[in-house]
């Protein structure tokens, strides 16, 4: 729950005091004349400058002001901004420690060498698309592509067996790969250059 800074500091001025221009007007935030919005903004800039996410910076700024109010009610402080920055720095360190401890626990418990379920399903869909595309290809192109890409035969060996030049074999491979890529794109599968 977000609480306004004036509510947190206990500075509730009656409407009559505001209209009269009494000493409530000179207070600017609380009984000691501190401007909590200015302090909060400075702490927010400090924490953001240290690389904190916006939501974390907001939380730290609010917690810093709350702690400052508590401390100032109990004791005298020489520099409120120095204390505010020290509190904010300590809170930021606490956040980083908590986040790193949580991320280490998750990594240790859930890390696996197995591919993700999403990756497995995408691979299965890609194989189905490959099979459909290969069945639709002309027989010669399919044979050349399978022998080169699957069986790792050289273009020269394929050309000698099929009475073709090496350039003709390369053309069949290129056209076959274009057909496979188009089929993958049409199916909405992106293998990130692994095709």
Condensed to tens digits (0 to 9), the pLDDT of residues 63-103 reads: 999 999 999 999 998 999 999 999 999 999 999 888 877 66
Residues 58 and 130 in one domain: no
Number of domains the chain is built from: 2
What is the per-residue pLDDT for 189?
79
Note whether 195 and 180 are within 8 A (CB): yes
Is pTM beyond 0.85? Reply is no
Residues 36 and 78 in one domain: yes
Residues 21 and 102 in one domain: yes
Note whether 39 and 6 are within 8 A (CB): no
Domain region containing 75: 5-110
What is the per-residue pLDDT for 66?
93
The confidence band for 104, taking pLDDT boundaries of 50, 70 and 90, is low
Residues 130 and 98 in one domain: no
**Which residues in the chain belong to E strands, given as ranges?**
none
Q: Residue 129 falls within a domain, yes or no?
A: yes
Q: Residue 51 falls within a domain, yes or no?
A: yes
The confidence band for 20, taking pLDDT boundaries of 50, 70 and 90, is very low
3-class DSSP string for 121-144: HHHHHHHHHHHHHHHHCCHHHHHH
Give the domain CATH number at 160.
Answer: 1.10.10.10
The confidence band for 110, taking pLDDT boundaries of 50, 70 and 90, is low
């Amino acid at each position: 729950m977000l609480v306004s800074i004036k509510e947190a500091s206990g500075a509730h001025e009656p409407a009559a005091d505001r209209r009269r221009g009494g000493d409530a007007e000179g207070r600017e935030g609380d009984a000691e004349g501190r401007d909590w919005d200015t302090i909060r903004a400075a702490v927010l800039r400090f924490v953001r400058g240290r690389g904190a996410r916006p939501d974390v910076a907001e939380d730290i700024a609010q917690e810093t002001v709350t702690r400052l109010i508590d401390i100032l009610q109990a004791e005298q402080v020489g520099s409120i901004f120095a204390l505010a920055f020290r509190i904010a720095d300590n809170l930021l360190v606490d956040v980083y420690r908590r986040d790193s401890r949580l991320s280490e626990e998750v990594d240790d418990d859930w890390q696996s060498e197995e591919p993700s379920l999403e990756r497995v399903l995408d691979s299965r869909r890609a194989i189905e698309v490959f099979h459909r595309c290969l069945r639709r290809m002309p027989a010669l192109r399919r044979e050349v592509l399978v022998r080169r890409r699957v069986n790792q035969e050289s273009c020269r060996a394929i050309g000698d067996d099929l009475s073709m030049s090496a350039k003709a074999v390369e053309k069949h491979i290129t056209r076959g790969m274009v057909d496979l890529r188009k089929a993958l794109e049409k199916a909405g599968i992106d293998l990130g250059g692994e095709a």
